[in-house]
A and B are shown apart, each in its own frame.
Chain A
Amino acid sequence: MNRKWTGCAAFVAVHPLLKIAVVVVLITSAALFLHPAPSLAVILVFLLHLLWCPSLLSPALPVIGLAAAGFFGFSVVNVLGYGGAETVTYQLGPLEVSLEALLFSLSIFLRVFASVCTAAWLTRSLRPSHLSAAIDGLVGRATSTALAILVIHRVIPEVVRRFGVVRSMHRVRGGGGGPGRIVQVIAGILSTTIYRAELLATAVKSRGYSLGMQRTAFRPARITVGHVAWALSVLLVAGGVVVAWELSLGLDGFLAGTAEEASGSQVRGGGR
């Protein structure tokens, strides 16, 4: 096996969790921060990822591109929106809308769009076998957590498909609207999902697996120095980009921005 393939195979062991970490950072940064540094850092991580092992992500490239564009657009729009354009207003029919409000709406749209794209990329490109190997290696004894995460990852595409099927069936049968329909749809999908889950549980138990016992065929993922070095280097690069970006704005701006952000996020974060 040549060196490149060895590198690719080694990367696969860490890669699912790294992907999850990247997506968590992406979504959190989209939810919390209002400047482009995290987005640029994540785009750079994607590029490094592609350089390391292009074949793994090539089918997902368009989705990654969309996600990156969404995040970048979101960041730029936010910077513009908070850059002093607050006083410009437009007349939209009976409403008088400020440019800031329009930009903020657009930024929310881009944020949701980018979150969905990155999540779609994660779901489409992760393989349960890779995920299970990585979780088994890192979670160790918390097997119920690992099992639950694996089941969630496996069931999500089926349930999404089933939502469409059940909705179509209700439409064909002329089901009414309102709360009754919500109960019908959710209960319909829940009943088939529980039935499938019971079958899955029977299959899992029939192979000798149960909580508290290791699997019959257990092959832990081996985390080598190379994996740790790769993860650390990605973290360093991402952190370096964030710090370099902030310092390029000047230390005063950095500190002022941090304080403003801390107070602003408290006011902005209502709801759930």
Chain B
Amino acid sequence: MSTRDVIVTAAAAVVLGIAQLAFGPLYTTLSGALGPIWVMLFLGFYYLPGIVLGLIIRKPGAALGGSVAAALVQVILGSPFGILALAAGASQGAGAELVFALFRYRRWSFPVLALAAVGSGVTALIYEYFTLGYANLEWWIPLAYLGVRIPSAIVLAAALGLAIYRALERSGAVRSPARRGSADVQTGGNLS
């Protein structure tokens, strides 16, 4: 990533990190009301930075770096999850990054974003399996965790991320692919 990409990724991650921090108390409350499995219907919001920043920057490292940066913002501002949020952010970003890499950072349709969001959920579950002692649970519980977080990832990460990106396009903050292509031609290459 170029200097501009790093700065834009870090700055945008601050916004998403603060939004996630504000979401934290709601998630904790819902956790008490819904229990440990059904609360994961809301877990997809934590996968949002990887999807949105991957979509905005569209370069290797943006999803992973953005997700870690958003987690760092939460740690700095006092996340109740503490330093563990950083590792969780890395695991979530890694899943999205992997899916974007599989498509060589060229396809950004909704199915690809949904797959990336589900990828975030899968890698996050793998991380949680080893760190939160899921191995000690009944075999069906981790599967239930996965099953519940898939629709959440599709709606709260992929669909919401795409909606945010389209709103950004309308505001002119990010360039649509068509405009980006013509601008690249006019400036003779990479805008960054």
CB-CB < 8 A to A123: which residues of B?
Answer: 76-77
A98 at interface, CB cutoff 8 A? no
Complex-state Cα separation, A205 to B27, whole angstroms: 40
- CB pair A271–B3 under 8 Å, yes or no, is no
Complex-state Cα separation, A179 to B78, whole angstroms: 25
Complex-state Cα separation, A267 to B8, whole angstroms: 39
The interface residues of chain A, by DSSP majority, are classed as helix
B188 at interface, CB cutoff 8 A? no
- CB pair B7–A204 under 8 Å, yes or no, is yes
CB-CB < 8 A to A266: which residues of B?
Answer: 132-133, 136
- CB pair B39–A205 under 8 Å, yes or no, is no
CB < 8 Å neighbour of A200 from B11, B43, B65, B83: B11
B167 at interface, CB cutoff 8 A? yes
Nearest chain A CB to B56's CB is how many angstroms away?
7
Q: Assess A271 versus B27: contact at CB under 8 Å? Given A147-B6, A190-B164, A205-B3.
A: yes
CB < 8 Å neighbour of B164 from A32, A144, A183, A196: A183
CB < 8 Å neighbour of B6 from A24, A148, A159: A148
- CB pair B173–A190 under 8 Å, yes or no, is yes
CB-CB < 8 A to A179: which residues of B?
Answer: 160, 163
- CB pair A272–B88 under 8 Å, yes or no, is yes
CB-CB < 8 A to A118: which residues of B?
Answer: 78
- CB pair A115–B80 under 8 Å, yes or no, is yes
B183 at interface, CB cutoff 8 A? no
CB-CB < 8 A to B133: which residues of A?
Answer: 266-267, 269
As a 0/1 sequence over residues 124 to 153 of chain A, the CB contacts with chain B under 8 angstroms (1 = contact) are 000000000000000000001001110111
Complex-state Cα separation, A197 to B9, whole angstroms: 9
- CB pair B12–A194 under 8 Å, yes or no, is yes
CB < 8 Å neighbour of A32 from B39, B82, B173: B82
CB-CB < 8 A to A56: which residues of B?
Answer: none
- CB pair B15–A193 under 8 Å, yes or no, is yes
Complex-state Cα separation, A190 to B57, whole angstroms: 13
- CB pair A272–B6 under 8 Å, yes or no, is no
Q: Assess A24 versus B72: contact at CB under 8 Å? Given A151-B10, A183-B167, A194-B12.
A: no
Nearest chain A CB to B70's CB is how many angstroms away?
9
B14 at interface, CB cutoff 8 A? yes
- CB pair B56–A194 under 8 Å, yes or no, is yes
- CB pair A156–B73 under 8 Å, yes or no, is yes
How many chain A residues touch B (CB < 8 A): the figure is: 61
CB < 8 Å neighbour of A269 from B4, B132, B171: B132
B154 at interface, CB cutoff 8 A? no
CB-CB < 8 A to A214: which residues of B?
Answer: none
- CB pair A155–B36 under 8 Å, yes or no, is no
Nearest chain B CB to A188's CB is how many angstroms away?
8
CB < 8 Å neighbour of B36 from A28, A187, A195, A270: A270
Smallest Cβ-Cβ distance to B163: which chain A residue = A183
Q: Assess A194 versus B174: contact at CB under 8 Å? Given A271-B39, A272-B85.
A: yes
- CB pair B132–A183 under 8 Å, yes or no, is no
Complex-state Cα separation, A152 to B13, whole angstroms: 8
Nearest chain B CB to A254's CB is how many angstroms away?
22
CB-CB < 8 A to B56: which residues of A?
Answer: 194
Complex-state Cα separation, A112 to B164, whole angstroms: 29
Smallest Cβ-Cβ distance to B22: which chain A residue = A163
CB-CB < 8 A to B76: which residues of A?
Answer: 23, 119, 122-123, 152-153, 156
B185 at interface, CB cutoff 8 A? no
Residues of chain B touching chain A, judged by Cβ–Cβ distance below 8 Å, are 1-4, 6-16, 18-19, 25, 27-28, 31, 36, 39, 43, 46, 52, 56, 65, 69, 72-73, 75-85, 88, 128, 131-133, 136, 160, 163-164, 167-168, 171-174
Known: A267-B133, A272-B81. 17 other contacts (CB 8 A): A24-B75, A31-B83, A115-B78, A144-B6, A151-B6, A152-B10, A156-B76, A183-B167, A187-B171, A189-B15, A193-B12, A194-B174, A205-B4, A266-B133, A271-B36, A272-B27, A272-B128
A-B contact pairs, 7 of them (CB 8 A): A27-B78, A31-B84, A155-B10, A155-B11, A159-B11, A160-B18, A267-B136
